[in-house]
Amino acid sequence: MEEYIVKIISIEPVTHNVLRIRVEKPEGYSFVPGQATEVCINKDNFKEERRPFTFTSLNDSKYLEFTIKTYTDHDGVTNELRKLKPGDELILHDVWGAISYKGEGIFIAGGAGITPFIAIIRQLYKDGNIGNNKLFFSNKTSKDIILKDSFEKMLGNQFINTLTEEKTGSYLNKRIDKDFLQKNIKDFSQNFYICGPDAMVQAVQQALQELGATEKVITVEV
């Protein structure tokens, strides 16, 4: 397995617990929007601590970008990422991932599960191919919504937020469950892309199938 040591170009907050990290792009390194790689921090205690992170830049960008949710409740990799600065190094590995764009449909994301969809939707927007694609995004509170302004710009009213732990006049206050899907989707023969916590993905997948979607049109990370 190949390893690539890259320097951090920039690191900045996206939300209260999400970082945007841009790093050097190794020569010849390429990916398909939706794909990921395993990342290590190039420090003695973390060189063997691999974590999967999705590319959120476009493949033709001069840099690689990751949008990463961090956890400060334990001294793990993402907490260590918060201590890094430009010039520090990460170790990247081979590209992998099961989520790729197969045609117009509905993207369903929970929290940090949005990350595989960022590059996909950015690429569609760049190419003028947003079409009828729609994004349902579930978060606990409004402050947890990752890249809200970007998605509003790219998708307009086809970007639908729902919050599970906060009531506000601006967003729905409901879980993405069978009832939600039945009320908000008319065509269950279109493509569905799901990413989020395991329990959510399994529940949404089952609900979609009960509502008539076949396995063929449902894409999840495996």
Q: State whether residue 140 is helix, strand or coil.
A: coil
Rounded-to-integer distance, Cα 132 and Cα 217, Å: 16
The residue type at 79: N
211 Cβ contact list (under 8 Å, min separation 6): 178, 181, 182, 185, 188
- φ, ψ at 51 (rounded to 5°): -135, 140
The residue type at 121: I
pLDDT category of residue 185 using cuts at 50, 70 and 90: very high
- Classify 4-96 by CATH class: mainly beta
Q: Does domain 105-220 have CATH number 3.40.50.80?
A: yes
Mean pLDDT across the chain: 96
Residue-wise pLDDT for 134-163, tens only, equals 999 999 999 999 999 999 999 999 999 999
Its sign, for the CA torsion 214, 216, 221, 222, is positive
Residues of the chain with CATH 3.40.50.80: 105-220
pLDDT category of residue 205 using cuts at 50, 70 and 90: very high
With CA atoms as reference, report the closest residue to 149 among 140, 141, 161.
161
Residues of the chain with CATH 2.40.30.10: 4-96
Asked whether 83 and 73 are in contact (CB, 8 A), the reply is no
